Amino acid sequence: MIILTHSKFETIFLVLNLLLCHLASAQLNKILTHDAFPEHKIKLKEPHLCDKTVQQYSGYLDVNNGKHLFFWFFESRNNPKEDPVTLWINGGPGVSSLEGLYFEVGPCLINSEGNGTIFNPYSWNNNSSIIFLDQPTYTGYSYGGDDVSDTLTAALDVYAFLQIFFQEFHNYAKLDFHLAGESFAGQWLPVIAFDINKYNHNHDSIRNLIHINLESILIGNGLMNPLVQFKYFPDMACNSSYGPVLNHSTCNQMRKDCKKLIKLVKKCYDSKNAIDCMNVVNYLDDKIYQPYKIAGKNLCDIRKSCNYIYSNDSSACYPELKDIVKYSNREDVKTELGINSSFVFHSHNRAILNNFRYSGNFINPIDIYISSLLETNIRVLIYAGDSDYKCNWLGIDAWTKVVHWSGTKGFNKANITPWITASGNYSGEFRTFKGFTFLRIFESGHFVSHDQSVSSLDFFNRWIFKKDL
């Protein structure tokens, strides 16, 4: 009889993981390196999926500590030699950026059977080359290494990836570069942008660094500063432009609970203690999210109902997300992308979310990074679908008004202006001053580009080409 101890299980798991890594690597046909990042390398493949009309690259950023971060690049459909480059990262943390690809801004969508793709005419790669990146490790197709539970560590890997990628594809490096994403990307993107900006101004400290032409960041329904944003849950649930979605007694109780929630956030910020910060998340789930879920409402869209009994993530409300998982686990798809056939893809990894919650890194304010970017002339677009509950536009609007930078007063005095799309639709409202813009998008929830694909492409194209909304 063989008895497997815990240590033996760990050894077996490690061996299997290394075998999977070796098998996956065998499918990738080019290796990219950079002298300044000896612990990082990119393994590259050229797939032919999703949009066969454009040049594609997929593969892994491999890090010496065993991390393997998956990416997928699509050239612009229009003019890849001159159109800007955009890096898209989803939130969660732990949500695959393939969700953003297949569900929102990518060149294709998944059909209802989950066995093929549909051309997306409103993809953001119409006029921008775009990279989708699964990070941190254990997100989507990414795997291996130590668990990452803070944004700073994740940002360094992304910066190394960009340097290696642009060194190989120097034709893209000369173009404008944008960072985009949604939800917890409100935490990722400002830190990544800060790192890029910092190293752009300190080339002498590290040899052979490429100047990345960081032009802007775009954050959709983002989590930026909970101390400000969390105050607006009762207003969104009980007094939004869509009308109340909770009954009177529940609304009154939520207002009381929200006051205590804000006190807990302040305690977390003051103590910087992981337990105090975890208490915020537990209270948020119990007192703010749970009554809303019990009422059968969709956390991502107050206009819609949702049954959370069988799932604790957005796949409960959006069946299309299950189709993405089915398609991403097809053996022929994985082979084409350079993924080992036995790898199991999950679009949401709740363990990563819990790691960030337990570490106290889930509710950090990122104002200082936004301020730094604005002061160095990096444009910032904060956009929000106005029917989202969990990252609602009321709280985001309030946050944009208190970000401390040289243009704070000018931004707050700026007029709220109707946003009329190229097709003539009154699709939202915006406030802008210098390089800072807040855009409210009508009739859209958390997934703006899914709900309003035409309007989404309109504001994206205007923004990246520096045109007025």
Q: From 73, 16, 84, 19, select the one nearest 42 (Cα to Cα).
A: 73
Quick check: is 388 catalytic? yes
- Percentages helix, strand, coil for the chain, rounded to the nearest 5? 45, 20, 40
Active-site residue among 62, 176, 388, 397? Answer: 388
Q: Residue 211 CA to chain centroid, in angstroms? A: 24
Q: Residue 389 CA to chain centroid, in angstroms? A: 17
What DSSP string runs through 91-142? Answer: -TTTB-HHHHIIIIISSEEE-TTSSSEEE-TT-GGGSSEEEEE--STTSTT-
- CB crowding 424-444: b at 16 or more within 10 Å, else e: eeebbbbbbbebbbbbbbbeb
Residues 288, 281: Cα–Cα separation, whole Å? 10
Other CB atoms closer than 10 Å to residue 395's CB: what's the count?
24
Distances (CA, A) of 141 to 82, 135, 440: 30, 9, 33
How many helical (H) and strand (E) elements, i.e. helices and strands, does the chain have? 18, 16
Active-site residue among 128, 446, 456, 458? Answer: 446
Residues 36, 191: Cα–Cα separation, whole Å? 20
Quick check: is 423 catalytic? no
**Amino acid sitting at position 181:** G
Quick check: is 446 catalytic? yes
Q: From 124, 158, 120, select the one nearest 139 (Cα to Cα).
A: 158
DSSP tag of 205: G
Active-site residue among 183, 216, 444, 453? Answer: 183
Judge contact between 251 and 238, C-beta under 8 A: yes
SS3 341: coil
SS3 372: helix
Residues serving a catalytic function are 183, 388, 446
